[in-house]
Structure 1
Amino acid sequence: MRATADVQDLLVAAFSACRELPAPEETAAVHRGLVAEIKRRLPAAERAAAAAPDRSRDWYAHDRVIRAARDALQLEGEEPSPHEGALVAGMRVAALGRCVRALVAYPSEGEVS
């Protein structure tokens, strides 16, 4: 499954945030987009895990992606504060970007696989 252009743009912005250290408003916008994308794709990953034979390799692979996404939402889900350093905010968006990259394999509602 290939990511749509919007998701690709989010991933590029997330993975370059530690290098480029964008303004807090830009980081916040990327953060909101990544969180929304995780929430949009997570149900598809959960459905795939439910459809896989219990404790199979596929089930474990889906479970790993699901746990990582849930952890990322719990740990990094809150939007970075404008007072947070640019590098810290960039690291948080990069962590969310890694989850979105793993979730790209799961089409969101209305997206064809």
Structure 2
Amino acid sequence: MLGWWYARGGHRGELIEIDREPPLQAKFLVDVNRADWPELIQLPGVGVILANKLIAERESGGPFNGVEDLRRVNGIGPRTLERIRPYVLPLPNDREVAAEGVDPQPAG
């Protein structure tokens, strides 16, 4: 086997060309009305404590009806809100839900 490899030019040190696909670009989005703490801590500026506060507020105060509604959580100020805004799935506001008759948390 080694002889065959050597005879086929295996010792010349030539590089093998490999076709590579371009890397996939995936956008990371979080549904703050359904996410558990491991998903929430992926958001910039959100650690375990703030993630648990988000979950507690969601459970006690109901679902978030818009990104601005996240300000209900103690610890999310304007700066944190702007940092996480690009990663939060669009949330329906109350009027859209009422007008369309859509459940903001479909059964799943």
- Shorter-chain TM-score range: under 0.3
Higher relative contact order (CA 8 A, sep 6+): 1
Q: Which has the higher helix share?
A: 1
Q: Normalising by structure 1, what TM-score?
A: 0.27
Larger radius of gyration: 2
